[in-house]
Amino acid sequence: MTPDLFAGCQAHGLVAGVDEVGRGPLAGDVVAAAVILDPAKPIAGLMDSKSLSHKRREILHHQILEQALCVHIARASVAEIDAINILQATLLAMTRAVAGLALAPDHVLVDGNRLPKWRYTATAIVKGDSKIAAISAASIVAKVTRDREMVAFDRQYPGYGFADHKGYGTAQHLRALAELGPCGIHRRSFSPVAEALGRVLP
């Protein structure tokens, strides 16, 4: 389904869409993006980043960066994920993404069913990345950013297959984790990583 490009904008003024990528993986940061689209420069074909081919995501990523009113990418680190848990780290990354926008939004639309505790008026929208264009744009920016980082980590930490699975717990990844042990970007608070370290989580 093609999202309604500016659902809610007339009612709220400047609307930012926010989404994150990387809650599920065993390795790497969780990355969030916030996007305020320009109504004068509509971008055709925005949808949930997971529904797009790699090539199409890259094309749309370029268009979003060129044509949006503003974009900001933020993250919570592996250390923060391990310290405060993945949910809180995700909300932190989203907060940082919105706070970093060059324009202050009048309203924020967030993918999912949870909102950070922040100063913005906001609405959480389940499957918002397939319904609201600004959230779709944020999902694309976040995914392209994180995927590129995992490809780079594949060169830094060879043998784990990060370029293929992007840190998710695939059979390939779990075999490498068992054989090689965790590397510098693995999340120690996630059970498969803890098990590879010989630890049992409470």
Give the distance, in angstroms, between the CA of residue 138 and the centroid of all CA atoms in the same chain: 8
Q: What is the pLDDT of residues 137-196, one digit of tens each?
A: 999 999 999 999 999 999 999 999 999 999 999 999 999 999 999 999 999 999 999 999
Is the CATH code 3.30.70.100 the one for domain 9-148?
no
- Which distant-in-sequence residues (6+ apart) come within 8 Å of 155 by Cβ? none
Q: Please give the DSSP secondary-structure letter assigned to residue 130.
A: G
The conformation of residue 3, written as its DSSP 8-state character, comes to P
Say how far apart CA 175 and CA 80 lie, in whole Å.
26
What are the helix (H) ranges across the chain? Answer: 9-12, 54-67, 78-84, 86-99, 133-156, 162-165, 171-180, 191-196
pLDDT means per 10 residues in the chain (202 residues)? 43 88 97 97 93 95 98 98 98 98 97 94 96 97 98 97 97 95 96 85 53
pLDDT, position 200: 53
Taking the C-alpha atoms of residue 89 and residue 118, their distance in angstroms, rounded to an integer, is 14
What residue spans define the domains of the chain? Answer: 9-148
Order of strands, sheet of 15-21, starting from the edge strand that comes earlier in the sequence: 70-76, 30-36, 15-21, 107-111, 122-125
DSSP of 47-63, one letter per residue? Answer: --GGGS-HHHHHHHHHH
pTM of the model: 0.91
The whole-number pLDDT of residue 120 equals 94
